[in-house]
Amino acid sequence: MSATSPASVESLDPPVAAGRRFVSELVRNPKGLTGFVLIFGVVFIAIFAPMLAGHDPTRQVLEARFLPPVFAEDGTWGHILGGDNLGRDILARVLYGSRTSILVALLVVFNAMVVGSILGAIAGYFGGLLDAVIMRIADFQLSFPFILVAILMLAIVGPGFWTMVFALSVALWVRFARLVRGETLKIRELEYIQAAKSIGVGHVAIIFSHVIPNVLPTIIVIATFDVAEVVIAEAAISFLGLGTQPPTPSWGMMISEGRNYLFENYWMALGPGIAIMTTSIAINLFGDFLRDTYDPRQERL
Amino acid sequence: MFGYLVRRVLSALLVIVCVVFVVSAISKLVPGDIVDMMEAGNPGMTEQDKAILREQLGVNKPVFETFTSYLGGIFRGDLGNSTRLRSSAAVLIAERVPATLELALTALFLALIVALPLGILCALKQGTAIDYFGTIVSTFGVAVPNFLIGIILILVFSVELQWLPSTGYKGSVVVAAWEALKAWDGSVLWDRMRYILMPAVSLAFFAIALNTRLIRSTMLEVIRQDYLQFARAKGVPERTVYLKHALRNALIPTVTIVGLQLGTLLGGTFIIENVFAWPGIGRLAVQSIFWRDYPLIQASILVAACVFVLINLAVDLIYRLIDPRIRYVRH
Q: Which pLDDT tens digit goes with each residue over B99-127?
A: 998 999 999 989 888 888 888 888 888 88
Nearest residue on chain A to B140, judged by CA atoms? Answer: A281
In Å, how far are A98, A133, A222, A259, B94 from B140, measured between CA atoms?
Answer: 20, 39, 19, 21, 36
Residue B266 inside a domain? The answer is yes
For residues A187-197, average pLDDT:
82
Residue B89 inside a domain? The answer is no
Minimal CA separation from A9 to chain B, in Å: 36
Does B274 lie at the interface with A, CB-CB under 8 angstroms?
yes
What pLDDT, in 10s, does the model give residues B41-56? Answer: 666 677 777 777 777 7
CB contact under 8 A, A255 and B312: no
CA distance linking residue A267 with residue A258, whole number of Å = 8
What does the pLDDT read at residue B203? 92
Q: Name the residue with higher pLDDT: B281 or B321.
A: B281
- For residue B266, the chain A residues in CB contact (below 8 A) are 145
Q: Are residues B155 and B288 in the same domain?
A: yes
Residue A20 CB contacts under 8 Å (≥ 6 apart), including other chains = A12
What does the pLDDT read at residue B32? 67
Residue A60 inside a domain? The answer is yes
Amino acid at B327: R
Q: Are residues B10 and B121 in the same domain?
A: no
SS3 letters across chain A: CCCCCCCHHHHCCHHHHHHHHHHHHHHCCHHHHHHHHHHHHHHHHHHCHHHHHCCCCCCCCHHHCCCCCCCCCCCCHHHCCCECCCCCEHHHHHHHHHHHHHHHHHHHHHHHHHHHHHHHHHHHHHCHHHHHHHHHHHHHHHCCCHHHHHHHHHHHHCCCHHHHHHHHHHHHHHHHHHHHHHHHHHHHCCHHHHHHHHCCCCHHHHHHHHHHHHHHHHHHHHHHHHHHHHHHHHHHHHHHCCCCCCCCCCHHHHHHHHHCCCCCCCHHHHHHHHHHHHHHHHHHHHHHHHHHHHCCCCCCC
CB contact under 8 A, B266 and A145: yes
Q: Are residues B149 and B264 in the same domain?
A: yes
- For residue B31, the chain A residues in CB contact (below 8 A) are 157-158
What pLDDT, in 10s, does the model give residues B149-158? Answer: 998 898 888 8
Residue B328 inside a domain? The answer is no
Of A171-175, B27-31, B72-76, B211-215, the one with minimum mean pLDDT is: B27-31
0.90 surpassed by pTM: no
Q: Which domain holds residue B28?
A: 2-78
**A5 pLDDT tier (thresholds 50, 70, 90):** very low
CB contact under 8 A, A273 and B263: no
Residue A5 inside a domain? The answer is no
CB contact under 8 A, B289 and A145: no
- For residue A241, the chain B residues in CB contact (below 8 A) are 286, 290
If one counts the domains in chain A, the total is: 1
Name which of B209, B208, B210, B199 is nearest B282 in CA terms. Answer: B199
Residue B56 inside a domain? The answer is yes
CB contact under 8 A, B301 and A151: yes
- For residue A268, the chain B residues in CB contact (below 8 A) are none
Q: Are residues B8 and B74 in the same domain?
A: yes
Residue B176 inside a domain? The answer is no
CA distance linking residue B129 with residue B135, whole number of Å = 10
- For residue B290, the chain A residues in CB contact (below 8 A) are 159, 241
Residue A211 has a CB neighbour count (10 Å cut-off) of 24
- For residue B305, the chain A residues in CB contact (below 8 A) are 144, 148
Q: ipTM of this predicted complex?
A: 0.81
Nearest CB neighbour to A154, from listed B210, B289, B312: B289
Residue A10 inside a domain? The answer is no
Does B174 lie at the interface with A, CB-CB under 8 angstroms?
no
- Please enumerate, as own/partner, the contacts of A214-217 that have beta carbons within 8 Å and a separation of 24 or more: A214/A183, A214/A187, A215/A117, A215/A179, A215/A180, A215/A183, A217/A294, A217/A295
What does the pLDDT read at residue A184? 84
Residue A3 inside a domain? The answer is no
Residue A40 inside a domain? The answer is yes
Q: Are residues B149 and B262 in the same domain?
A: yes
Q: Are residues B296 and B230 in the same domain?
A: yes
Q: Which domain holds residue A210?
A: 28-298
Q: Are residues B115 and B255 in the same domain?
A: yes
CA-based angle B146:B149:B155, to the nearest 5? Answer: 145
Residue A56 inside a domain? The answer is yes
Does B105 lie at the interface with A, CB-CB under 8 angstroms?
no
Peptide bond into A57 cis (omega under 30): no
What does the pLDDT read at residue A1? 41
Q: Return left, alpha or beta for A72; rule: phi > 0 is left, psi -120 to 50 is alpha, else beta.
A: beta
For residue B250, give the CATH number of its domain. 1.10.3720.10
CB contact under 8 A, B147 and A155: no
For residue A172, give the CATH number of its domain. 1.10.3720.10
For residues A257-286, average pLDDT:
86
Q: Are residues B147 and B7 in the same domain?
A: no
Q: Which residues pair with A83 in a beta bridge?
A: A89
Does B308 lie at the interface with A, CB-CB under 8 angstroms?
yes
Residue A12 inside a domain? The answer is no
In Å, how far are A32, A39, B220 from B237, measured between CA atoms?
Answer: 41, 49, 18
If one counts the domains in chain B, the total is: 2
Residue B191 inside a domain? The answer is no
